[in-house]
Amino acid sequence: MKKILLTGGLGFIGSNFIRYLLSSTNKTEIINLDNMTYAANPNNLSGIEKEFTGRYTYIKGDICEPELVQDIFKKYKPDAVINFAAESHVDRSIKDPNIFVKTNVLGTATILNVSRKFWEGDYSDKRFLQVSTDEVYGSLPEDKPEIKFTEETPLNPHSPYSASKASADMIARSFYDTFGFPVLITRCSNNYGPYQFPEKLIPLMISKAVKNEKLPVYGDGLQIRDWLHVTDHCSAIETVLRKGIIGEVYNIGGNCEIRNIEIVKMILNYLGKPEALINYVKDRPGHDRRYAIDASKIKNELDWEPAFSFEDKIRDTIKWYINNSDWIENINSGDYQKQGEK
């Protein structure tokens, strides 16, 4: 892919992917469409235009505006779209579901419609990659570790966020079924790493522990998540974009199931802080108990698997947030002081 229209590239995963792809390829050009909402941060890509001269363009705008998207297609003629743009925090979706429906559902439909119009049925060298989440599958039983989400697991979302992402996936898949449109869908487990907005679990716990503030943990803290370093996620997306079979879904997981409370204690231990800082708070409505990804399909068919261990990368992640405390302090997050989780 020579020209990629990437939406939501100022966010956590999108910005990491832009750095990853520009660094690992020589000719790829990226057009980043981002509306600069609360979780977007231009500092995530500081210096990128100078480092990769002529290969990166930022456009401020909303994916729900068809005229703007059409203008981008006319000017840049991308041959691939990667849709990262999404409202993604479950707590915020409970507070205000409408914005999640607008961005995640209507926005995805807008990008799909414009792409189909401009590619005019010649899809031989085109790709549309919808970046999704394991949360669309719902929750797994804690007492049956052998059961994991596969690409065939029925969608069963439990929050407005996950419902909006499931809806976007289904719209994208319908374009493949109806028009033969070159859709690919990836569903990943919980990401961690640098540049993650500090309402999420790991950066929030680090920033509060450093300040000796109470660490709010939902319910009993025994929720289980499958953790994936963001660089591994980036490499998986690039692999699916190059080698994935059109119309297919690919689960991306870290093979790393850990309870939330264990992660919190791990952070406290690394920082030399007492567990007395943990503050159990009222659980979130509809809180899923366990996620776990079966990533055998992407391994067997596309020869991808995670390269990093959680033990190594969580240490690197903690160090990054400590060394970049000014990055967190400069974020005007409003209400991110709540317990965080993808």
Query: Any idea which residues carry the catalytic annotation?
Result: 134-135, 161
Measured between alpha carbons, how far is 99 from 93 in angstroms, rounded to an integer? 8
Q: Are 218 and 277 in contact (CB under 8 A)?
A: no
Q: What is the DSSP letter of 60?
A: E
Tell me the residue ranges of DSSP E strands in 230-286.
249-252, 257-259, 278-281
Question: How many CB atoms within 10 Å of residue 107?
Answer: 25
Which amino acid is it at 4? I
Q: What is the DSSP letter of 288?
A: -
Measured between alpha carbons, how far is 335 from 246 in angstroms, rounded to an integer? 40
Contacts of 250 (CB under 8 A, 6+ apart): 151, 184, 185, 186, 187, 236, 240, 244, 297, 298, 302
Compute CA distances 134 → 186, 188, 228, 270, 332, whole Å: 9, 5, 12, 29, 28
Question: How many CB atoms within 10 Å of residue 99?
Answer: 15
